[in-house]
């Protein structure tokens, strides 16, 4: 199992450790519900150093990014971040990712930990078409960078104490290069996967100790706490955010996943992988779609459970499900056949041979 620059910290603090995406990661410290509420109401720190980071540089960097991603990266200016995905050329999704525009010829791609090798191989195969050389203009920095996500309503107030530039009023999906905890040129961004506000800080592995110490000393008055990946999952699900491998994968198209908003067909965007496939899918109409649901009958839906109509016919499957700590409701997401993926439709989740009623709802499940 691989480790992050913070793994020993988690072990020393008594975290329950599990294998996740090939890494030894903390799933919880004192309990998922308690940690979840701490982030919603105060502040918590996630080690997300297992995420992958790729650099794309040179005069053809934007053309390359435009072709391999679904969103329109031409709208990005330095300091802006964009959510996007890699279409796989077969109608599915290689991965979802964040695209950081450092300058017009430099892009920083942040990908999911479980997909680092797959994503890299996918990009390496396409790079030569754009005169981009793997190891040169396309560089895998995943093993060199660590990242902490400081999330919650008090996160930016705390982080301001250790940053040399204003960060409290930063807009969502922006970033700055700044001095953080005495570390020069840290990438400080405000994307978030919890819906609770906050930031992410990327630094070199050799600066991990300095970053950890600075963050926890700055947040001590507010009772800042380390948080495990279990609460990260319940927090993201309450917001209706997709998790690769659960809600999206190589068999689901961005349009089916409700990611039409990051799939652009304009002239500036131009050609990209699966453009024609998705245009046809859009024109023909979707036969299924990822939707949110709340349980009406008592029970919790889990990944892989069948979704049925009132007659018991299978019409889909659950991708994610949990008991929401913030709302007290059992929630989930599922791919459901048309037309029952529309809001207010009654569907049934098959739980241990019983059909439990649920209702399709619009996400996010949790609203401030």
Q: What is the DSSP string of 167-197?
A: -TTPPTTBEEEEEETTEEEEEEE---SSSS-
Q: Give Cβ neighbours of residue 267 (< 8 Å, ≥ 6 apart).
A: none
Residue 368 has pLDDT above 90, yes or no: no
pLDDT digits (tens, 9 = 90+) for 129-161: 999 999 999 999 999 999 999 999 999 999 999
CA 237, CA 193: separation in Å to the nearest integer? 9
CA 238, CA 255: separation in Å to the nearest integer? 21
Residue 28 has pLDDT above 90, yes or no: yes
The pLDDT confidence band at residue 2, using thresholds 50, 70 and 90, is very high
Predicted local confidence at residue 83, as pLDDT = 98
**Same domain? 213 vs 342:** no
**Same domain? 148 vs 123:** no
The pLDDT confidence band at residue 5, using thresholds 50, 70 and 90, is very high
pLDDT digits (tens, 9 = 90+) for 286-340: 999 999 999 999 999 999 999 999 999 999 999 999 999 999 999 999 999 999 9
**Same domain? 268 vs 350:** yes
The mean predicted confidence, pLDDT, of the chain is 98
Helix (H, G, I), strand (E, B) or coil at 126: helix
Question: How many separate domains does the chain show?
Answer: 3
Token pair in block for residue 219? 């947040």
**Same domain? 293 vs 228:** no
Position 173 in a domain: yes
Per DSSP (E only), the strands in 205-313 are 225-226, 288-295, 306-308
Strand partners, 226: 45
Can you give the C-alpha Rg of the chain in angstroms?
Answer: 21
Position 162 in a domain: yes
pLDDT digits (tens, 9 = 90+) for 256-277: 999 999 999 999 999 999 999 9
Note if the bond before 364 is cis, omega within 30 degrees.
Answer: yes
Helices 61-68, 116-126: crossing angle, 10 deg rounding: 120
Note if the bond before 339 is cis, omega within 30 degrees.
Answer: yes
């Amino acid at each position: 199992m691989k480790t992050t620059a913070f793994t020993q910290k988690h072990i020393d603090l008594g975290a329950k450790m599990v294998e996740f995406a090939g890494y030894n990661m903390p799933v919880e410290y004192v309990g998922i519900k308690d940690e979840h509420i701490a982030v919603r109401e105060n502040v918590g720190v996630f080690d997300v150093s297992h995420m992958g980071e790729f650099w794309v540089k040179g005069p053809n960097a934007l053309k390359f990014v435009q072709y391999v991603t679904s969103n329109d990266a031409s709208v990005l200016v330095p300091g802006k971040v964009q959510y996007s995905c890699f279409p796989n050329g077969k109608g599915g999704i290689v991965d979802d990712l964040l695209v950081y525009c450092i300058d017009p010829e430099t892009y920083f791609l942040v990908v999911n930990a479980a997909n680092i090798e797959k994503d890299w191989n996918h990009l390496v195969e396409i790079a030569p078409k754009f005169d981009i050389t793997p190891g040169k203009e396309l560089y895998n920095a995943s093993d060199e960078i660590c990242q902490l996500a400081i999330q919650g309503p008090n996160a930016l107030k705390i982080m301001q104490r250790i940053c040399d530039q204003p960060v409290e009023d930063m807009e969502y999906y922006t970033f700055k290069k700044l001095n953080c905890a005495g570390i020069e040129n840290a990438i400080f961004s405000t994307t978030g996967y919890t819906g609770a506000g906050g930031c992410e800080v990327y630094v070199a592995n050799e600066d991990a100790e300095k970053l950890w110490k600075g963050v926890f000393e700055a947040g001590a008055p507010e009772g800042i706490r380390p948080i495990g990946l279990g609460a990260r999952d319940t927090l993201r699900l309450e917001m209706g955010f997709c998790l690769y491998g659960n809600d999206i994968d190589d068999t689901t198209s961005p349009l089916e996943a409700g990611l039409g908003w990051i799939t652009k067909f304009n002239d500036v965007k131009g050609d990209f992988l699966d453009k024609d496939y998705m245009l046809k899918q859009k024109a023909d109409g979707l036969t299924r779609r990822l939707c949110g649901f709340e349980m009406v009958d008592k029970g919790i839906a889990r990944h892989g459970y069948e979704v049925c109509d009132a007659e018991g016919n299978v019409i889909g499957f659950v991708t994610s499900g949990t008991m929401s700590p913030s709302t007290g409701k059992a929630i989930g997401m599922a791919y459901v056949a048309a037309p029952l993926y529309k809001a207010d439709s009654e569907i049934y989740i098959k739980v241990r041979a019983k059909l439990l009623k649920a209702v399709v709802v619009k996400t996010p499940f949790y609203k401030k």
